[in-house]
Amino acid sequence: MPTPIKMPALSPTMEEGTLAKWLVKPGDTVEAGDIMAEIETDKATMEFEAVDEGTIAAIQVEEGTEGVKVGTVIAMLAEEGEDLEEAAAAAPSKDAQSDADRSPAEAGASNDDAQPKEAPASAGARKETAPKPSGDRIIASPLAKRIAEQKGIDLSSIEGSGPNGRIVKADVEGAGTPAKAGASSSQAKPTEAPASAGDRVQSDLDAPYEATKLNNVRKVIAKRLTEAKQTIPHIYLTVDVRLDALLDLRKQLNASLEADGVKLSVNDLLIKALARALQRVPACNVSFQGDELFQYAREDISVAVAAPSGLITPIIRDAGRKGLAQISTEMKELAGKARDGKLQPHEFQGGTASLSNLGMFGTKQFDAVINPPQAMILAVGAGEQRAHVIDGALGVATVMSATGSFDHRAIDGADGAQLMEAFQQLVENPMGLVV
């Protein structure tokens, strides 16, 4: 009996994803554990492994397809001895899956027998995608219909390149000038087409531009950080920290760890310093949860890493109890996986506090946005030679500015100030990081 391969939920929050790339084709034999596809979730691009063995009978969802809902059949797998054509024919039709995923209103809008008076208020915007007067039904994928609606394109004027003449995304994107009625409808109701609304604003500018569609990771970043700034009352506290002692200690430790192949970065020591500071001031290792305050018993530090798909924060768990060499090794491994888009959900989901370091880019100081549901993030700038008072006399020292952003609903200013003081003391007296 053929086995349907369905879109997996690769993270607890995943509802849909982009089938970024197929690594198999019809006729290929797979075994459990083989990588079949790369799927872009709301967090990262992840590999999708086969759980059964057999032969790929059919690919139901083309690579590059966006908005594929979890549970959608994306391929069919034939067992040994099964006829591939029969296994492929056993797959649910794409129209059936699309109708099952759509709301009743949307399903009614595409029904040949539906009456105009039953259409929702926004049906006017869909006139260009209605069936032809001749009664012939226009077969198009939901994504193609959505793009056509946003761009005001008349689907009846497009020849589909998909199976049985089905109109797919590529057909709509390659279509000509949008129909006037659709365009005027889109402009009259910008709230129904947010993507094209943004394009219209930019098209009024004189400078040439190239529009790039947001990937899922960037969409989630935009949504979460917008919510963070709108809903979290941020308070910012900054301290200047002398780095000379920390840099000297790092040099000594690297000399002793060279034989083990470990090379500590300044960021590794700062991760440890933040974790130890949270141990000293546990009132800052919390999160605001509606009518409850969660107090964490472990310091899991999320570290901001710039990846090709967008910012992501792999986690050093229980950083307060780990040695510097272990933190360094884990951080290098996680950062590499983040840049390659290979992080697993457990490696970036969670964390009790965050660290963002832009010092390597020469940034002197900045205020970071809290990563909910966490209640604080530490923003670290570049270390630089500055005039500094040392033992009552003016001298020159390597100084770094660090700014803590705190959720004022969960953390009082005095507690935040104590955390910044503890961090400063640990960095300026770094032997506390190795004992």
Query: What is the tens place of the pLDDT at every residue in 395-425?
Result: 999 999 999 999 999 999 999 999 999 999 9
Model confidence at 105, pLDDT cuts 50, 70, 90, reads: very low
Residue 329 main-chain phi, psi, to 5 deg: -65, -45
CA-wise closest residue to 85 among 58, 123, 46, 124 = 58
What's the CA gap between 334 and 349, in Å, rounded?
A: 13
Say if residues 300 and 352 touch (Cβ distance below 8 Å). Answer: yes
Structure tokens at 248: 């000297």
Tell me what the mean pLDDT of segment 223-232 comes to: 92
Q: Residue 12's pLDDT is what?
A: 67
pLDDT exceeds cutoff 60 at 104:
no
Catalytic residue among 234, 346, 388, 408, which? 408
Residue showing tokens 């009846």: 156
Give, to the nearest 10 degrees, the angle between helix 266-280 and helix 324-339.
120
To the nearest whole percent, how much of the chain has pLDDT over 90? 43
Q: How far apart are the first and last CA of the chain?
A: 61
Contact 39, 10 (CB under 8 A): yes
DSSP assignment string, 324-392: HHHHHHHHHHHHHHHHTT---HHHHS--SEEEEE-GGGT-----PPP-TT-SEEEEE---EEEEEEETT
pLDDT for the residue numbered 188: 40
Confidence of residue 125 (pLDDT cuts 50, 70, 90): very low
pLDDT of residue 42: 67
Q: For 23-142, where are the E strands, in sequence order?
A: 29-30, 35-40, 45-49, 54-59, 65-69, 73-78
Q: What burial class does residue 2 get, using C-beta atoms within 10 Å of its C-beta: 0-12 exposed, 13-18 middle, 19+ buried?
A: buried
Q: Please, which pLDDT band fits residue 286 given cuts at 50, 70 and 90?
A: very high
421 Cβ contact list (under 8 Å, min separation 6)? 239
Confidence at residue 198, expressed as pLDDT on a 0 to 100 scale: 42
CA atoms within 13 A on the CB side of 221: 16
CB atoms closer than 10 angstroms to residue 371 = 23
Ordered structural domains, the chain, with CATH: 3-92 (2.40.50.100), 104-213 (no CATH), 220-433 (3.30.559.10)
Q: Which of 172, 231, 155, 168 is nearest to 410 (CA)?
A: 231
Q: What integer is the mean pLDDT of 19-46?
A: 85
Integer Cα distance of 61 and 73 in angstroms: 8
User: How sure is the predictor about 43, in pLDDT bands with cuts at 50, 70 and 90?
Assistant: low
Name the residue among 264, 233, 231, 261 with its Cα closest to residue 248: 264
Mean of the per-residue pLDDT values of the chain? 82
Residue 164: pLDDT above 80? Answer: no
Question: For residue 8, which of 58, 50, 44, 43 has the smallest C-alpha distance?
Answer: 50
Stretch among 163-172, 219-228, 298-307 having the lowest mean pLDDT: 163-172
Output the six-digit token pair for 44: 């990262």
Q: Is 346 a catalytic residue?
A: no
The pLDDT of residue 151 is: 79
* Residue 432 burial by Cβ neighbours in a 10 Å radius (0-12, 13-18, 19+): middle
Burial 145-161 (b: 16+ CB within 10 A, else e): bbbbbbbbbbbbebebe
